[in-house]
Amino acid sequence: MEMKDFNNLKFYNYIPVNRELKKCCVPCPDTEEFEVKLNQELDEQLKNAFQGNVLDQINARNINVDLKRDLKKKLNILSKRTDKAIIELIKRKINESKNNKETSNVNDEQENTSMTLNFDRKNDNLGHLLHQTLNKLDVMDESD
């Protein structure tokens, strides 16, 4: 057998049986130093990343945009219902105040005939305005 030049051969993972080829084996590199260096760099980066209050680094505007977008339709419906409820409460108070006035003025015939708001009367401006706003709110509710 002839001796061949094995200088260019390098075995990283394979362990040959031949003694001459065993000279071409390359020892495994020591990874402990590399791991220690990587761990130190990682620790430094983690300390820098979490330095201070983490909540300060969050951009709160982006979080609120999602919530506002998702709740916008529900809030619109709720505001319409709230407006309608407020108008109903105002209407009740006006009716109560009219009823109180009517009971105190028993002798006056015009006040005795009407115990509630009459939306058909033209001289009752407040009742007419309430009636118009309630109709508008009904139309808005139907459009949703």
Give tens-digit pLDDT for 72-121: 888 888 998 999 999 999 888 888 888 877 776 654 555 445 445 555 55
Q: Which residue has the higher pLDDT, 88 or 63?
A: 88
The H or E element spanning position 41 is: helix 32-49
pTM (predicted TM-score): 0.33
- Residue 136's pLDDT band (cuts 50, 70, 90): confident
* Residues 98, 131: Cα–Cα separation, whole Å: 17
CA 133 to the chain's CA centroid: 33
Pure H helices in 59-144: 60-104, 109-113, 125-143
Convert the pLDDT of each residue in 26-36 to its tens digit.
888 788 888 99
Query: Comparing C-alpha atoms, which of 65, 1, 93, 18 is closest to residue 9?
Result: 18
